[in-house]
Structure 1
Protein backbone atom coordinates (compact mmCIF):
# COMPACT_ATOMS: atom_id res chain seq x y z
CA UNK A 1 0.00 0.00 0.00
CA UNK A 2 1.37 3.42 -0.98
CA UNK A 3 1.63 5.82 1.94
CA UNK A 4 2.97 8.71 -0.17
CA UNK A 5 1.96 9.35 -3.77
CA UNK A 6 3.17 12.37 -5.73
CA UNK A 7 2.02 13.08 -9.26
CA UNK A 8 3.65 15.88 -11.28
CA UNK A 9 3.98 18.17 -8.25
CA UNK A 10 5.04 21.76 -9.04
CA UNK A 11 5.67 24.85 -6.94
CA UNK A 12 6.59 28.27 -8.29
CA UNK A 13 7.07 31.53 -6.43
CA UNK A 14 6.92 35.11 -7.62
CA UNK A 15 9.91 36.97 -6.20
CA UNK A 16 10.34 40.75 -6.23
CA UNK A 17 13.47 41.84 -8.09
CA UNK A 18 15.04 44.74 -6.23
CA UNK A 19 17.74 46.77 -7.89
CA UNK A 20 20.50 48.57 -6.00
CA UNK A 21 20.40 52.24 -5.13
CA UNK A 22 18.02 54.74 -3.58
CA UNK A 23 16.34 55.75 -6.86
CA UNK A 24 15.79 52.12 -7.81
CA UNK A 25 14.30 51.46 -4.35
CA UNK A 26 11.87 54.36 -4.72
CA UNK A 27 10.93 53.26 -8.23
CA UNK A 28 10.39 49.75 -6.89
CA UNK A 29 7.72 51.07 -4.54
CA UNK A 30 5.62 52.11 -7.53
CA UNK A 31 6.66 49.70 -10.29
CA UNK A 32 7.80 46.34 -9.10
CA UNK A 33 9.39 43.76 -11.31
CA UNK A 34 9.09 40.09 -10.49
CA UNK A 35 10.85 36.90 -11.37
CA UNK A 36 9.25 33.46 -11.28
CA UNK A 37 11.26 30.89 -9.36
CA UNK A 38 10.58 27.23 -10.02
CA UNK A 39 11.14 25.56 -6.64
CA UNK A 40 9.71 22.13 -7.51
CA UNK A 41 9.45 21.04 -11.13
CA UNK A 42 7.21 18.05 -11.70
CA UNK A 43 8.20 15.53 -9.04
CA UNK A 44 6.41 12.17 -9.11
CA UNK A 45 7.02 9.29 -6.70
CA UNK A 46 5.33 6.47 -4.84
CA UNK A 47 6.55 5.33 -1.43
CA UNK A 48 5.14 2.12 -0.03
CA UNK A 49 4.51 1.33 3.63
CA UNK A 50 7.72 0.15 5.31
CA UNK A 51 10.01 1.63 2.65
CA UNK A 52 12.91 3.81 3.77
CA UNK A 53 13.94 6.52 1.34
CA UNK A 54 16.44 9.35 1.22
CA UNK A 55 15.53 12.70 -0.29
CA UNK A 56 18.78 14.14 -1.57
CA UNK A 57 19.76 17.05 -3.77
CA UNK A 58 21.80 20.23 -3.91
CA UNK A 59 20.77 23.48 -2.22
CA UNK A 60 17.82 25.00 -4.04
CA UNK A 61 16.67 21.69 -5.54
CA UNK A 62 13.25 21.88 -3.85
CA UNK A 63 13.67 19.32 -1.05
CA UNK A 64 12.35 21.52 1.75
CA UNK A 65 9.60 22.96 -0.45
CA UNK A 66 8.43 19.43 -1.31
CA UNK A 67 8.43 18.41 2.36
CA UNK A 68 6.46 21.54 3.26
CA UNK A 69 3.87 20.61 0.63
CA UNK A 70 3.68 17.05 2.01
CA UNK A 71 3.14 18.42 5.51
CA UNK A 72 0.42 20.77 4.29
CA UNK A 73 2.26 23.96 5.20
CA UNK A 74 2.17 25.24 1.61
CA UNK A 75 0.05 24.54 -1.46
CA UNK A 76 1.53 23.29 -4.72
CA UNK A 77 1.13 25.40 -7.84
CA UNK A 78 -0.08 22.27 -9.62
CA UNK A 79 -0.01 18.51 -9.30
CA UNK A 80 -1.44 16.06 -6.84
CA UNK A 81 -0.26 14.37 -3.65
CA UNK A 82 -1.67 11.93 -1.15
CA UNK A 83 -0.04 11.10 2.16
CA UNK A 84 -1.62 8.46 4.40
CA UNK A 85 -4.70 8.75 2.17
CA UNK A 86 -5.07 12.51 2.71
CA UNK A 87 -4.45 15.54 0.52
CA UNK A 88 -1.92 17.31 2.78
CA UNK A 89 -2.89 20.93 2.12
CA UNK A 90 -6.51 20.24 3.07
CA UNK A 91 -5.12 20.06 6.65
CA UNK A 92 -7.60 17.58 8.13
CA UNK A 93 -7.17 17.26 11.90
CA UNK A 94 -6.66 13.50 11.70
CA UNK A 95 -3.89 13.99 9.13
CA UNK A 96 -2.16 16.61 11.26
CA UNK A 97 -2.14 14.18 14.19
CA UNK A 98 -0.41 11.53 12.08
CA UNK A 99 2.13 13.59 10.16
CA UNK A 100 4.80 15.88 11.56
CA UNK A 101 7.61 17.72 9.85
CA UNK A 102 10.62 18.39 12.03
CA UNK A 103 13.23 20.50 10.29
CA UNK A 104 16.77 20.32 11.58
CA UNK A 105 16.96 23.87 12.81
CA UNK A 106 18.08 24.71 16.29
CA UNK A 107 15.54 27.55 16.54
CA UNK A 108 12.74 25.00 17.02
CA UNK A 109 14.21 24.32 20.44
CA UNK A 110 14.12 26.67 23.42
CA UNK A 111 17.61 28.11 23.75
CA UNK A 112 17.92 27.98 27.56
CA UNK A 113 16.10 24.69 28.08
CA UNK A 114 17.22 21.11 27.54
CA UNK A 115 15.97 19.55 24.30
CA UNK A 116 13.97 17.07 26.40
CA UNK A 117 11.78 19.94 27.68
CA UNK A 118 11.06 21.11 24.13
CA UNK A 119 10.26 17.52 23.16
CA UNK A 120 7.80 17.27 26.08
CA UNK A 121 6.09 20.45 24.89
CA UNK A 122 5.65 18.92 21.44
CA UNK A 123 4.35 15.73 23.05
CA UNK A 124 1.60 17.78 24.70
CA UNK A 125 0.82 19.82 21.58
CA UNK A 126 0.42 16.70 19.42
CA UNK A 127 -1.27 14.60 22.16
CA UNK A 128 1.30 11.80 21.95
CA UNK A 129 0.65 9.10 24.56
CA UNK A 130 3.38 8.95 27.23
CA UNK A 131 4.40 5.35 26.53
CA UNK A 132 4.76 6.05 22.80
CA UNK A 133 6.69 9.26 23.52
CA UNK A 134 9.15 7.52 25.86
CA UNK A 135 9.66 4.58 23.48
CA UNK A 136 10.25 6.83 20.47
CA UNK A 137 12.56 9.18 22.39
CA UNK A 138 14.59 6.23 23.66
CA UNK A 139 14.83 4.67 20.21
CA UNK A 140 15.89 7.90 18.51
CA UNK A 141 18.38 9.02 21.15
CA UNK A 142 20.03 5.60 21.00
CA UNK A 143 20.01 5.52 17.20
CA UNK A 144 21.53 9.01 16.98
CA UNK A 145 23.85 8.58 19.95
CA UNK A 146 22.59 11.70 21.73
CA UNK A 147 21.18 10.20 24.91
CA UNK A 148 23.41 12.28 27.17
CA UNK A 149 22.71 15.50 25.30
CA UNK A 150 18.93 15.76 25.52
CA UNK A 151 19.08 16.81 29.17
CA UNK A 152 21.54 19.66 28.51
CA UNK A 153 20.49 23.19 27.47
CA UNK A 154 20.50 23.52 23.69
CA UNK A 155 22.87 26.48 23.57
Structure 2
Protein backbone atom coordinates (compact mmCIF):
# COMPACT_ATOMS: atom_id res chain seq x y z
CA UNK A 1 0.00 0.00 0.00
CA UNK A 2 1.09 3.56 -0.62
CA UNK A 3 1.24 6.37 1.88
CA UNK A 4 -1.66 8.72 1.14
CA UNK A 5 -0.89 11.16 3.99
CA UNK A 6 2.58 12.02 5.27
CA UNK A 7 3.10 14.50 8.09
CA UNK A 8 6.71 15.14 9.09
CA UNK A 9 7.62 17.24 12.15
CA UNK A 10 4.77 19.71 11.62
CA UNK A 11 4.29 22.69 13.91
CA UNK A 12 1.67 25.43 13.66
CA UNK A 13 2.06 28.65 15.62
CA UNK A 14 -0.31 31.58 15.87
CA UNK A 15 0.50 35.15 16.89
CA UNK A 16 -2.12 36.09 19.50
CA UNK A 17 -2.78 39.43 21.17
CA UNK A 18 -1.88 39.31 24.85
CA UNK A 19 -4.79 41.37 26.20
CA UNK A 20 -4.38 43.44 29.32
CA UNK A 21 -7.04 43.39 32.01
CA UNK A 22 -9.50 46.16 32.82
CA UNK A 23 -10.40 49.44 31.15
CA UNK A 24 -6.87 50.88 31.47
CA UNK A 25 -5.45 47.73 29.92
CA UNK A 26 -7.90 47.91 27.02
CA UNK A 27 -6.94 51.53 26.35
CA UNK A 28 -3.22 50.66 26.47
CA UNK A 29 -3.89 47.83 23.99
CA UNK A 30 -5.20 50.40 21.51
CA UNK A 31 -1.79 52.12 21.39
CA UNK A 32 0.75 49.40 22.11
CA UNK A 33 0.06 45.77 21.55
CA UNK A 34 1.81 42.88 23.17
CA UNK A 35 1.69 39.57 21.33
CA UNK A 36 2.50 36.03 22.34
CA UNK A 37 3.14 32.98 20.19
CA UNK A 38 0.80 30.03 20.80
CA UNK A 39 1.71 26.57 19.49
CA UNK A 40 -1.49 24.92 18.29
CA UNK A 41 0.39 21.89 16.91
CA UNK A 42 3.81 20.93 18.23
CA UNK A 43 6.09 18.68 16.15
CA UNK A 44 3.69 15.95 15.03
CA UNK A 45 4.52 13.20 12.57
CA UNK A 46 2.35 10.43 11.15
CA UNK A 47 1.80 8.39 8.02
CA UNK A 48 -1.50 7.00 6.80
CA UNK A 49 -1.68 4.27 4.18
CA UNK A 50 -4.24 4.32 1.39
CA UNK A 51 -7.41 2.56 2.58
CA UNK A 52 -6.43 2.76 6.24
CA UNK A 53 -9.10 3.94 8.68
CA UNK A 54 -7.75 6.21 11.40
CA UNK A 55 -9.23 7.97 14.42
CA UNK A 56 -7.59 11.22 15.47
CA UNK A 57 -8.41 11.76 19.14
CA UNK A 58 -7.37 14.23 21.81
CA UNK A 59 -8.65 16.72 24.35
CA UNK A 60 -10.01 20.15 23.45
CA UNK A 61 -7.20 22.44 22.34
CA UNK A 62 -4.86 19.59 21.39
CA UNK A 63 -4.59 20.74 17.76
CA UNK A 64 -6.81 18.17 16.03
CA UNK A 65 -8.81 20.67 13.95
CA UNK A 66 -5.68 22.68 13.18
CA UNK A 67 -3.97 19.53 11.89
CA UNK A 68 -6.96 18.67 9.70
CA UNK A 69 -7.04 22.25 8.37
CA UNK A 70 -3.35 21.94 7.44
CA UNK A 71 -4.04 18.59 5.74
CA UNK A 72 -6.80 20.20 3.65
CA UNK A 73 -4.72 23.26 2.75
CA UNK A 74 -6.81 25.77 4.70
CA UNK A 75 -3.78 26.53 6.91
CA UNK A 76 -0.07 26.44 6.10
CA UNK A 77 2.23 24.80 8.67
CA UNK A 78 4.72 27.07 10.44
CA UNK A 79 7.32 24.35 9.98
CA UNK A 80 7.53 20.78 8.80
CA UNK A 81 6.03 19.09 5.77
CA UNK A 82 2.62 17.69 4.86
CA UNK A 83 1.90 15.66 1.74
CA UNK A 84 -1.61 14.48 0.89
CA UNK A 85 -1.76 12.27 -2.18
CA UNK A 86 1.78 13.34 -3.00
CA UNK A 87 0.86 17.05 -3.03
CA UNK A 88 1.47 19.94 -0.64
CA UNK A 89 -2.11 20.80 0.42
CA UNK A 90 -1.87 24.61 0.73
CA UNK A 91 -0.18 24.83 -2.69
CA UNK A 92 -2.85 22.71 -4.40
CA UNK A 93 -6.12 23.67 -2.68
CA UNK A 94 -8.39 23.33 -5.73
CA UNK A 95 -7.13 19.86 -6.63
CA UNK A 96 -7.06 18.83 -2.97
CA UNK A 97 -10.70 19.92 -2.48
CA UNK A 98 -11.85 17.65 -5.31
CA UNK A 99 -10.15 14.61 -3.82
CA UNK A 100 -10.94 14.87 -0.11
CA UNK A 101 -13.84 15.83 2.10
CA UNK A 102 -13.89 17.21 5.62
CA UNK A 103 -16.88 18.01 7.79
CA UNK A 104 -16.39 20.07 10.93
CA UNK A 105 -19.19 19.68 13.44
CA UNK A 106 -19.54 23.33 14.33
CA UNK A 107 -20.41 24.55 10.83
CA UNK A 108 -22.91 23.03 8.45
CA UNK A 109 -22.50 22.99 4.68
CA UNK A 110 -26.27 22.78 4.36
CA UNK A 111 -28.25 25.84 3.33
CA UNK A 112 -30.60 26.85 6.13
CA UNK A 113 -33.63 27.79 4.02
CA UNK A 114 -33.39 24.99 1.46
CA UNK A 115 -34.70 21.44 1.67
CA UNK A 116 -31.97 18.88 2.32
CA UNK A 117 -32.09 17.46 -1.22
CA UNK A 118 -31.49 20.94 -2.71
CA UNK A 119 -28.44 21.46 -0.48
CA UNK A 120 -27.10 18.10 -1.67
CA UNK A 121 -27.66 19.07 -5.32
CA UNK A 122 -25.85 22.39 -4.84
CA UNK A 123 -22.89 20.62 -3.21
CA UNK A 124 -22.92 18.07 -6.06
CA UNK A 125 -22.53 20.92 -8.56
CA UNK A 126 -19.92 22.78 -6.49
CA UNK A 127 -17.73 19.67 -6.17
CA UNK A 128 -18.41 18.55 -9.77
CA UNK A 129 -19.76 15.14 -8.79
CA UNK A 130 -21.15 13.15 -11.72
CA UNK A 131 -24.85 12.24 -11.78
CA UNK A 132 -23.98 8.53 -11.55
CA UNK A 133 -21.70 9.00 -8.52
CA UNK A 134 -24.27 11.26 -6.85
CA UNK A 135 -27.09 8.74 -7.40
CA UNK A 136 -24.92 5.86 -6.13
CA UNK A 137 -23.93 7.77 -2.99
CA UNK A 138 -27.52 8.85 -2.31
CA UNK A 139 -28.66 5.21 -2.55
CA UNK A 140 -25.81 4.03 -0.33
CA UNK A 141 -26.46 6.60 2.40
CA UNK A 142 -30.22 6.13 2.19
CA UNK A 143 -29.64 2.43 2.93
CA UNK A 144 -27.27 3.21 5.83
CA UNK A 145 -29.21 6.09 7.39
CA UNK A 146 -32.92 6.50 6.82
CA UNK A 147 -32.84 10.15 5.72
CA UNK A 148 -35.44 9.94 2.94
CA UNK A 149 -38.20 11.45 5.13
CA UNK A 150 -35.91 14.48 5.60
CA UNK A 151 -35.00 15.09 1.95
CA UNK A 152 -37.73 17.66 1.27
CA UNK A 153 -37.66 19.28 4.71
CA UNK A 154 -35.92 22.69 5.06
CA UNK A 155 -32.70 22.35 7.05
CA UNK A 156 -33.84 25.02 9.54
CA UNK A 157 -36.66 22.68 10.63
CA UNK A 158 -34.27 19.81 11.45
CA UNK A 159 -32.81 19.02 14.83
CA UNK A 160 -29.04 19.24 15.32
CA UNK A 161 -28.84 15.44 15.20
CA UNK A 162 -30.76 15.31 11.93
CA UNK A 163 -28.50 17.93 10.38
Superposition TM-score, scaled by structure 2 size: 0.85
Partner of 2:27 in structure 1?
A: 26
Counting matched residue pairs gives 155
Cα displacement string for residues 72-119 of structure 1 (whole angstroms, at most 9, x for unaligned residues): 011000010111111101025333321232222354321122222222
Q: Is the 8 A contact 2:111 2:155 kept in 1?
A: yes
Deviation for aligned residue 1:31: 1.2
Equivalent in the alignment of 1:126: 127
Q: Give the match for residue 99 of structure 1.
A: 100
Unpaired runs of 5+ residues, structure 1, are none
Tell me what 2:73 maps to.
Answer: 72
Counting only pairs closer than 5 Å after superposition, residues 5-154 of structure 1 correspond to structure 2 as 5-91=6-92, 93-154=94-155
Structure-2 change in CA distance of 1:107 and 1:71 (3 Å): same
Tell me the residue number matched to 2:4.
3
TM-aligned CA distance change 1:67 to 1:152, over 3 Å:
same
Residues in 2 aligned to 1:110 and 1:77: alpha-carbon distance in whole angstroms? 34
